[in-house]
Amino acid sequence: MKIILASQSPRRKALIEQMGMKDYEIIVSQITEKMDSNLEIEEQVKQLSYQKAKVVFDQTKGDRIVIGADTIVEKNKRIYGKPKDREEAQTMLKQLKNSRVNVITGMTVLMQNQGKTIEQVDSTTTEIYIKDMTEKEIEKWLNTGKAMDKAGAFTIQDEFCVYIEKIVGDHNAAIGLSTSKLYDIISKMGGKV
């Protein structure tokens, strides 16, 4: 069965490959990401993951599994998405340093098998404890150029790992995709990983 990842994230691509999926396709969903403030934060993230998967699912045919995902950072009910520019990234990091934040990853799996469509939407919340950071340390991280395409302007891998004090929950979900949940969902749907 064809597997399609509805994401251009190199981190999600790496996680898919860690699971042993080598024969898959990437089709990026071209949706405008809009958060629905009437929904709880977890529901918003799940909705975005569903929209991404559904657009790609509707563009494709045949027996297939489409995987969509979205990740946000939340602190005190405030959502931190991808920064628009360096200044916003710096502001985010100043607000997130020396605190516990939640990294919430929504994931949608849509499968069509012999004309039958099955869908599963889920989310995973991982607690990340970020150390205090000096202005110089924030600038050093920003100078890597890796903050701009990350929710909250940080990542738990790469050079930023030295500022992560503790992770409680699903490490891979915090990177961008819960591989254990994805495996379970596909297995329950009757697909093979």
Show which residues are catalytic.
Answer: 70
Handedness of CA 49, 57, 32, 17 (dihedral sign): positive
Find tokens 């697909």 and name the residue. Answer: 191
Q: What is the DSSP string of 52-65?
A: HHHHHHHH--SSEE
Q: Could you tell me where the beta strands, DSSP code E, fall in the chain?
A: 2-5, 25-26, 64-75, 78-80, 99-113, 116-130, 164-168
Q: Tell the residue number behind the tokens 């020396």, with chain if given.
A: 98
Q: How far apart are CA 126 and CA 164, in angstroms?
A: 13
